[in-house]
């Protein structure tokens, strides 16, 4: 789905076209739910987060700006933020470090099941980039991004100094950016 299609469907949402909402959910529902589940330990709560994300898009379609990325990225960002808000308020919904890291390893190795249509190539690129950063960097980045941990919590959970946690996050992101840039340049 390219940006002009994203804009077209968002325009229909602005016109209160319910079919457009249904189409958006059919296209991205599995992905949005998966993102919520990556963050929240409880599948029922993850489903609620996914519903909230779609309702937010329905109520404020104008908050999507095609300049800043695809509708898919936008929805995933909204979902992730909603899920993290939830785990920060409900400690019981926080995933364990082991669960987060295992899922990240599976993602970086492309072992996930039920692969669907949306952006497979882009996802493959990202997986390759993720697998290019070191295990300790990936662990820190995943705890922060999908686990909603602050760098202090990352440090405490991994039993490392706070400075080391900050360095791993920085180096992990820098390496990831570099890997993504190199791949983009090659294509």
Partner 1 sequence: MNKTHDELKSLIAPYVLGAVSPEEMEEVRSHIISCEECMAEADGYSSAVSSLALSVSPEAIPDGLIENVMREARADAGRPVAAVAPVPDDSDQSRVTELRTSRPIYGLVAAAAALLIVAVLAGALITTTNELDDTRDQLANERERVEQLAQTEGAMRLGGSSDDAIGAMLPTDEGGVFVVHGLDDPPSDHTYQVWLLDDGQPISAGTFDPASGVGGLQTDHSLDGVDEVAVTVEPEGGSPAPTGVQVLTT
63 in contact with partner 1 (CB under 8 A): yes
Return the number of the residue (150 or 159) whose C-beta is nearest partner 1: 150
83 in contact with partner 1 (CB under 8 A): no
The Cα 154–Cα 143 span in angstroms is 7
97 in contact with partner 1 (CB under 8 A): no
Measured between alpha carbons, how far is residue 92 from residues 82, 87, 97 in Å? 16, 7, 13
135 in contact with partner 1 (CB under 8 A): no
Task: Give the total residue count for the chain.
Answer: 187
The Cα 125–Cα 75 span in angstroms is 20
Classified as helix, coil or strand, 80 is helix
156 in contact with partner 1 (CB under 8 A): no
User: Which are the contacts of 90, defined by CB distance < 8 A and separation ≥ 6?
Assistant: none
Handedness of CA 21, 24, 27, 32 (dihedral sign): negative
150, 156, 161, 182: which one binds partner 1 (CB under 8 A): 150
Binders in 158-177 for partner 1, by CB under 8 A: 163, 165-167, 169-170, 172-174, 176-177
126 in contact with partner 1 (CB under 8 A): yes
182 in contact with partner 1 (CB under 8 A): no
The distance of closest approach from Cβ of residue 145 to partner 1 in the complex, given in angstroms and rounded to an integer, is 5
């Amino acid at each position: 789905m390219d940006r002009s299609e994203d804009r077209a469907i968002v325009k229909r949402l602005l016109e209160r076209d319910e079919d457009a909402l249904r189409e958006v959910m059919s296209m991205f529902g599995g992905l949005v739910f998966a993102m919520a589940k990556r963050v929240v330990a409880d599948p029922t709560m993850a489903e609620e987060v996914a519903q909230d994300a779609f309702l937010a898009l329905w109520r404020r379609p104008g908050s999507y700006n095609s300049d800043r990325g695809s509708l898919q990225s936008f929805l995933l960002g909204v979902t992730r933020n909603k899920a993290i808000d939830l785990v920060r308020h409900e400690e019981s919904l926080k995933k364990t470090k082991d669960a987060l890291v295992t899922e990240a390893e599976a993602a970086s190795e492309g072992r996930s099941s039920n692969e669907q249509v949306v952006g497979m190539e882009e996802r493959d690129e990202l997986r390759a980039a993720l697998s290019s950063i070191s295990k300790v960097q990936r662990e820190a980045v995943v705890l922060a991004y999908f686990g909603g941990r602050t760098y202090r919590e990352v440090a405490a959970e991994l039993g490392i100094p706070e400075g080391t946690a900050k360095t791993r996050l920085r180096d992990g992101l820098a390496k990831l950016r570099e890997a993504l840039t190199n791949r983009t340049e090659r294509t």
